[in-house]
Structure 1
Amino acid sequence: MPGLIPCPPHIWLAVSPVDMRKGADGLSAIVQQGLGHTPCAGSAFVFRNRAGNRLKLLLWDGNGVWLCQRRLHRGGFVWPKATDSCFSMTPDEWRWLVAGVDWQRLSAAPAAHWQP
């Protein structure tokens, strides 16, 4: 996350959709009670709405909290279909996610059997 927001050591996706009206305090409560993480440990937490076209990013940086929102005008964000409540992703996967690209397919290995 270039610019003013520091690059966090961990980026976590909250798999279940949340109410986008929630602010920093409401989302921090979800991180602590629902996901079992400490919201102020320096990790970033990403939430999405039910429709899948909006994201909110929560990041405590030591001085305060960042709460950012992104909305796609067409389509939706690709989200994991994990059974866990929280999913970890790399900074590269994060960049592809916010661009609206299917980041889960980018790491797929090519077919191993090639025939001339």
Structure 2
Amino acid sequence: MISFGSDVRVFVATQPVDFRKGVHGLVGLIAEGLQGAPYSGDVFVFRSKRADRLKLLFFDGTGMILATKWLEGGKFSWPPIREGKMMLSATQLAMLPDGLSEWLKVAPRPTKKLITTA
């Protein structure tokens, strides 16, 4: 299991990608197609056309890490295909690779931001 802190930013490419793409192809897709910053430490999630595979790509400060998961049976639950990307919470990211469909229903609780004046 790969875990991230609660402050990690996670982006899902909502369009399926060609799963023959490796690290360099996905970095290019992040930079050009998703207008993201591949070396920022953000996590980028990619889906396959058959919805039974996913790839995670992130920079850990020393190099790029590419993780792939195939489900032996069934499919991952994905939102409808549309242009662009969507953002996930760390909790949603933890649920997604396990094949849990509930990740689509989990939403972070709203928090009040304290405003301090000096």
TM-score normalised by length of structure 2: 0.81
- CA distance in structure 1 between the aligned counterparts of 2:91 and 2:17, rounded to whole angstroms: 24
Q: Report if the CA contact (8 A) 1:13-1:89 is conserved.
A: yes
User: How far apart are residue 83 of structure 1 and its match?
Assistant: 3.9
Letter aligned with residue 104 of structure 1 = L
Runs of 4+ in 1 over 6 A off after TM superposition: none
Percent identity (aligned): 33
Specify the alignment match of 1:114 in structure 2.
Answer: none
User: How far apart are residue 9 of structure 1 and its match?
Assistant: 1.6
Specify the alignment match of 1:53 in structure 2.
Answer: 52
Question: What is the correspondence of 1:1-116 to structure 2 with a 5 Å cutoff?
Answer: 1-2=2-3, 7=5, 9-81=8-80, 83-102=82-101, 103-107=103-107
User: How far apart are residue 81 of structure 1 and its match?
Assistant: 2.1
- CA distance in structure 2 between the aligned counterparts of 1:101 and 1:9, rounded to whole angstroms: 20
- What CA deviation, in whole Å up to 9, does each residue of 1:61-107 have, x standing for no partner? 11000001001011111112264411100111111111111111345
Unmatched runs of 5 consecutive residues or more in structure 1: 108-116
CA RMSD of aligned residues (A): 1.6
Unmatched runs of 5 consecutive residues or more in structure 2: 108-118
Letter aligned with residue 81 of structure 1 = P
- The total of aligned residue pairs comes to 104
- Aligned residue for 2:29, secondary structure, equals helix
- Aligned residue for 2:27, secondary structure, equals helix
- CA distance in structure 2 between the aligned counterparts of 1:30 and 1:15, rounded to whole angstroms: 12
- CA distance in structure 1 between the aligned counterparts of 2:52 and 2:81, rounded to whole angstroms: 19
Letter aligned with residue 54 of structure 1 = R
- What CA deviation, in whole Å up to 9, does each residue of 1:20-49 have, x standing for no partner? 111110000000100001110110101011
Q: Report if the CA contact (8 A) 1:32-1:39 is conserved.
A: yes
